[in-house]
Amino acid sequence: MKIRTLKDIAELKGKKVLLRVDFNVPLKENGEIQDDTRIKEALPTIKELQRKKAKIIIASHLGRPGGKIVEELRLSNVAQYLSKLLKKPVKKLDETIGPEVKKEIEKMKNGDIVMLENTRFHKEEKECEKKFTKKLASLADIFINDAFGTAHRKHASTAGVAAHLTAYAGLLMEKEITALSPIIEEEPIRPLTMIFGGAKIDTKIGIIKNFIDKADYFLLGGALANTFILAAGYNTGESKCEEDKVEVARNIMLDCEKHHEKFIIPHDVIVASEISDKAQTIDIPVEDVIGDMKILDIGKWTAEKYCNIIQKSGTVIWNGPLGLYEFEPFRKRSATVAKCLADHNCVSIIGGGDTADCLKRLKIPFKKFTHVSTGGGACIEFLSGQKLPGIEVLKM
């Protein structure tokens, strides 16, 4: 895939650069940043723009404010945190567009950084509304998209501004595309194993269907697996699952039926009647789930089976934790599989913020894997072969 990148820009000194990043980071109840992965991953691009003496105008969203101002979703804490990492002032503005914003940008010196307010405080952002998009683009001379995590969204700040400014990929965006492209453009090292967890089936349907004839194994966990367990005719008790997606799950399993060991759902599961760090758990065969039991992790036998498959795989793509990892009793099997994958010499692609957060809690270094993507939905859609609006505008 040929795209324009930051490295292609001949002169940046004095140029006003609209830099779209993905600083949609998880926050603690007190507003502090819980996981700074996405901020740290954007640092190389920001530092390169500083080195080349550009005027850096950072745009990002945070949370889902629905086009309204939500005080706890302002980017003030994010700007302060970035300032500490860079050891340089980052001026946070209270608006995204408007005369006050323009006034502050006109004051900027080479190498200065300002951060616009949460782009999603404007409903026009998600609508990619023309007037808003044009006003946003008017703030800068060049557009650099380094927000791979939002590349699947056709929003004003991710794709729309490219109608008014020449668009380039930042260093993180370039790294993501370089790491993921071979999976869809070249023959992967086999066997190719896809591990899917997390909560929702609909976000994974596209990639599962795209890889039915390409992958050698599909290994399922998380609440997503519960929908398939229900579709297979088992009781799921009071487990989280999507009953309206049972037919979709059944059809996917039927498509894989000719390959008996290709599409694997949990054979045993960890269940509990409550969700807490002190929950009492039992490991039982999936057919024994009854009453108010909640399936909250895959079982020991299933985790061992998954590890056996991983150990003979040449390429492994993992998206979504295998249990409710936020609670210690339901994190164990994700730990088993993650450690197995980290120790195995293969191409390993980790996608999704929750999967990365799970690895952090397990204290497994990212360097143990070939690539840890900053995007969840974007990573999945890219690997599904779909065209991502935020990447399409970067193509030569």
Token output for 281:
């758990």
pLDDT at position 184: 85
Catalytic residue numbers?
38, 200, 353, 377
**Is residue 152 within 8 Å of 388, Cβ to Cβ?**
yes
Kindly give, in sequence order, each residue whose CB lies less than 8 Å from that of residue 332, ignoring residues fewer than 6 positions away.
270, 297, 323
CB atoms within 10 A of CB 347: 18
- Give the bridge partners for 143, in sequence order: 18, 167
Q: Is 187-383 in the same CATH topology as 6-175? A: yes
Once rounded to an integer, what is the mean pLDDT over residues 239-256? 91
**Is residue 120 within 8 Å of 65, Cβ to Cβ?**
yes
pLDDT at position 8: 97
User: Mean pLDDT of all residues in the chain?
Assistant: 94
Q: What is the pLDDT of residues 203-236, one digit of tens each?
A: 788 788 888 888 999 999 999 999 999 999 999 9
- Report percent pLDDT > 90 for the chain: 83
pLDDT at position 207: 82
Q: Specify the CATH number of the domain 187-383.
A: 3.40.50.1260
pLDDT at position 259: 65
pTM, whole model, 2 decimals?
A: 0.88
CA 201/CA 193 separation, integer angstroms = 18
Token output for 312:
């003979």
CA 138/CA 336 separation, integer angstroms = 51
Closest C-alpha among 222, 181, 174 to residue 199: 222
CA 172/CA 364 separation, integer angstroms = 21
pLDDT at position 257: 76
- Report percent pLDDT > 70 for the chain: 99
CA 371/CA 40 separation, integer angstroms = 15
pLDDT at position 44: 98
Sorted by where each begins, the domain ranges of the chain are 6-175, 187-383
CA 41/CA 177 separation, integer angstroms = 14
∠ CA 341-344-350, nearest 5°, is: 35
Once rounded to an integer, what is the mean pLDDT over residues 10-19? 97
Phi, psi of 365 (to 5 degrees): -60, 140
CA 180/CA 78 separation, integer angstroms = 28
Whether 324 has a pLDDT exceeding 90, the answer reads: yes
Once rounded to an integer, what is the mean pLDDT over residues 300-329? 97
Closest C-alpha among 303, 282, 183 to residue 237: 282
pLDDT at position 260: 60
pLDDT at position 267: 97
Once rounded to an integer, what is the mean pLDDT over residues 314-321? 95
Q: What is the pLDDT of residues 41-88, one digit of tens each?
A: 999 999 999 999 999 999 999 999 999 999 999 999 999 999 999 999
Tokens 């969840």 label which residue?
376
Q: What is the pLDDT of residues 141-197, one digit of tens each?
A: 999 999 999 999 999 999 999 999 999 999 999 999 999 998 888 888 999 999 999
CA 188/CA 70 separation, integer angstroms = 45
Of the candidate CATH numbers 3.40.640.10, 3.40.50.1260, 3.40.50.360, 3.90.870.10, the domain formed by 6-175 belongs to 3.40.50.1260
